[in-house]
Amino acid sequence: QVQLVESGGGSVQAGGSLRLSCTASGYTSTTSGKCMGWFRQVPGEGREGVAAISTEDGITYYADSVKGRFTISQDNAKSTVYLQMNSLQSEDTAMYYCVSSAGDGWCYLNAAVFGYWGQGTKVTVSA
């Protein structure tokens, strides 16, 4: 059973930083996990793709709203993906979900790419 375990959420003042971590385990296929990323969701609104990374070549993708402030990175030896969030704004307040691809396909920032989702970690940014 694939598990994505997130950590690092919390409360911070605007302008501050947080780093989210996501560790994956339980893959049974060599084609799983080639694309990992982060989505976020505010209650009552749809999911928004934040960042993604191709775990084979390290190519990254970002939503326009976070470019220049957020950085996604990986530690393949630990099967872990990170999201460094700087210059946080109140609009970044959301539940953040780690995601991983289930099959062998293109890596890009679209929910259809990701077959596995974590339980989420909450990020609250106060003004």
- Kind of pairing, strands 70-75 and 3-7? unpaired
Cα angle, residue 10 at apex, residues 84 and 3 outer, rounded to 5°: 70
pLDDT of residue 29: 79
Residue 81 has pLDDT above 90, yes or no: yes
Which strands make up the sheet holding 18-25, listed edge to edge?
A: 3-7, 18-25, 80-85, 70-75
Q: What is the pLDDT of residues 21-73, one digit of tens each?
A: 999 998 887 778 899 999 999 999 999 999 999 999 999 999 999 999 999 99
Rg (CA), the chain: 14
pLDDT of residue 30: 76
Q: 2 phi and psi, to 5 degrees?
A: -75, 135
CB 82 within 8 A of CB 89: no
pLDDT of residue 86: 98
pLDDT of residue 105: 81
Q: What is the pLDDT of residues 103-119, one digit of tens each?
A: 878 899 999 999 999 99
pLDDT of residue 103: 80
If one counts every other C-beta atom within 10 angstroms of the C-beta of residue 76, the result is 11
pLDDT of residue 32: 82
